[in-house]
Amino acid sequence: MLIIDCPWCGPRQETEFGYGGQAHVAYPEDPYALDDAAWAEYLFYRDNPKGVHAERWVHSVGCRRWFNALRDTHTYDVLAVYRMGEPRPDVASPHTPQDSELVQSTVVPGTPESPAPGSTTSGTGNHP
Ligand SMILES: [Zn+2]
């Protein structure tokens, strides 16, 4: 059972909460300027990280207030909660660097047909 720390009520079981999707998805400043692809990006595409994810939650059977949480999608640990309008806390996933190392270590040993020396494989799949 996940324990979520409501910013107003304190720690409660996850069954008291509802998930509201990714946090910090801002409405377009000029919606009339968007083409169909940009609208689709805004409406349907969300981050899907393995690691820290900013999410909206509502304490639906408690205070009924919305808040944001930083949850590690790898471990399900809720790393921080903060009220709407407050800045996102700077929390790093303790697992992301290990995962990046794992990706690199699985790529590098398989080198019979690897790129020429000096070339690098860039990107670990991490978002900025
Ligand atoms: Zn609450």
Where do the DSSP E strands lie in the chain?
3-6, 10-13, 18-22, 52-58, 66-72, 78-83
Structure tokens at 31: 């919606």
What single-letter amino acid sits at 25?
A: V
Tell me, yes or no, whether 12 lies in a domain. yes
The pLDDT of residue 105: 40
Range of the domain at 50: 3-83
5 CA from centroid of ligand 1 (Å): 8
83 CA from centroid of ligand 1 (Å): 11
55 CA from centroid of ligand 1 (Å): 16
Quick check: 126 and 96 in contact, CB under 8 A? yes
5-19 pLDDT, tens digit per residue, is 999 999 999 999 999
Query: Which one has a higher pLDDT value, 116 or 76?
Result: 76
Tell me, yes or no, whether 65 lies in a domain. yes
23-73 pLDDT, tens digit per residue, is 999 999 999 999 999 999 999 999 999 999 999 999 999 999 999 999 999
Tell me, yes or no, whether 45 lies in a domain. yes
Read off the pTM: 0.69
Tell me, yes or no, whether 98 lies in a domain. no
Predicted confidence band at 109 (pLDDT cuts at 50, 70, 90)?
very low
94 CA from centroid of ligand 1 (Å): 27
CATH number of the domain bearing residue 75: 3.30.2270.10
| Domains identified in the chain, total number | 1
Tell me, yes or no, whether 107 lies in a domain. no
Tell me, yes or no, whether 118 lies in a domain. no
